[in-house]
Amino acid sequence: MPENENMSETSFRKVIYYIVVLLSIVVIVWILTHKERYDYTNTSDSVVADNTPKRLATLGSLGSWNIDLEVADTEAKREQGLSDRDSLPEESGMLFVFDAPSAPSFWMKDMRFPIDFIWINKDMEVVEVLPNIDPSTYPEEFGPLEPIQYVIEVNAGAAERHGIKIGDILKLAK
């Protein structure tokens, strides 16, 4: 009997080993296929005291709209923005984060679809919505009427569909 128990225990360990290996492969494949959407090199989901998001992707809300935001918080990411993309998934957008309040200008260079600009001040409050900006407006530049620290770009018409208005507060998931 002891040999059979030993054999059974060895078989059980092999099964567990193969399950762990298989699950590891599944996780690795999932990460690789979702790499464009999330940055796994910095998984902190906290927001520091100055409200600067520390993730490539985060969930935010404007009014009652929950939105998946890709964060552009470096000069290179802000310069690239949504350029050279064919589309933007519904219920998502790009959050541009600036180090301090300013009046940045945006243009539609290499854009392939129209967008809405949502200008947000340092207190995370919507101060202006600029709807339906078409790629054909390039090289015209667009900027806020007052200093802002954040900008969200979403598909054209999304701000109106979701009732985004001046005074709405951007809340980032923690």
* 153 and 90 co-located in one domain: yes
| Co-location of 83 and 167 in the same domain | yes
CATH number of the domain where residue 138 is located: 2.60.120.1140
In a domain, 41, yes or no: no
Distance from C-alpha of 105 to C-alpha of 142, rounded to nearest angstrom? 5
For 2, the domain range is 1-33
Report the alpha-carbon distance of residue 112 to residue 84 in Å, rounded.
7
Q: What is the pTM of this model?
A: 0.66
- Claim to verify: residue 65 and residue 123 sit in the same structural domain: yes
Residues 65 and 148 in one domain: yes
Asked whether residue 116 falls in the same domain as residue 63, the answer is yes
Asked if residue 5 and residue 66 are part of one domain, the reply reads no
Instruction: Identify which has the larger pLDDT, 42 or 4.
Output: 4
3-state secondary structure the chain: CHHHHHHHHHHHHHHHHHHHHHHHHHHHHHHHHCCCCCCCCCCCCCECCCCCECCCEEEEEECCEEEEEEEECCHHHHHHCCCCCCCCCCCEEEEEEEEEEECCCECCCCCCCCEEEEEECCCCEEEEEEEEECHHHCCCCECCCCCEEEEEEEECCHHHHCCCCCCCEEEECC
Q: Are residues 10 and 78 in the same domain?
A: no
Is 52 among the domain residues?
A: no
Residue 9 has pLDDT above 80, yes or no: no
What are 116's strand-pairing partners? 154
Q: Is residue 47 part of a domain?
A: no
Q: Are 69 and 105 in a shared domain?
A: yes
Tell me if 139 is assigned to some domain.
yes
Does residue 46 lie in a domain region?
Answer: no
Answer whether residue 136 is part of any domain. Answer: yes
Residues 7 and 67 grouped into a single domain: no
User: In terms of domains, do 113 and 73 share one?
Assistant: yes
73 and 159 assigned to the same domain: yes
Residue 15 falls inside a structural domain = yes
Residue 40: inside a domain: no
Closest Cα to residue 119, out of 141, 103, 139? 103
Q: Give me the chain's average pLDDT, please.
A: 81
> Quick one: what percent of the chain has pLDDT higher than 90?
52
Digit-coded pLDDT (tens) for 90-129 = 889 999 999 999 999 999 999 999 999 999 999 999 999 9
Number of domains in the chain: 2
**Per-residue pLDDT reduced to its tens digit, 161-174:** 998 999 998 888 76
Do 121 and 162 lie in one domain? The reply is yes
